[in-house]
């Protein structure tokens, strides 16, 4: 979504790109996904259904697919 506003940015307004990048880094590297994944592995790490869920589910951006059987 941030791409839509790029043509309107002038000078220091380009600093606005820092926020989405910072949030992405927080979610994927520092907190959020990493902490949640560690807790899930500690609680359900041996469960085959949880292992399948981890392998089939994207961590941050959902995939757009049709209904599964």
pLDDT tens for 32-63 read 888 888 999 999 999 999 999 988 888 887 77
pLDDT on residue 30: 86
Query: Quick check: 2 and 17 in contact, CB under 8 A?
Result: yes
| Distance of alpha carbon 8 from alpha carbon 21, whole angstroms | 19
Query: Quick check: 16 and 9 in contact, CB under 8 A?
Result: yes
Query: Quick check: 33 and 60 in contact, CB under 8 A?
Result: yes
- Whether the model pTM is above 0.75: no
pLDDT band at 66 (very low <50, low <70, confident <90, very high): low
């Amino acid at each position: 979504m941030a791409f839509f506003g790029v043509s309107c940015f002038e000078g220091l307004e380009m600093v606005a790109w820092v926020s989405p990048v910072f949030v992405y880094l927080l979610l994927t590297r520092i907190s959020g996904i990493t902490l949640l994944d560690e807790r899930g592995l500690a609680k359900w790490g041996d469960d085959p259904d949880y292992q399948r869920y981890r392998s089939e589910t994207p961590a941050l951006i959902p995939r757009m697919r049709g209904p599964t059987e």
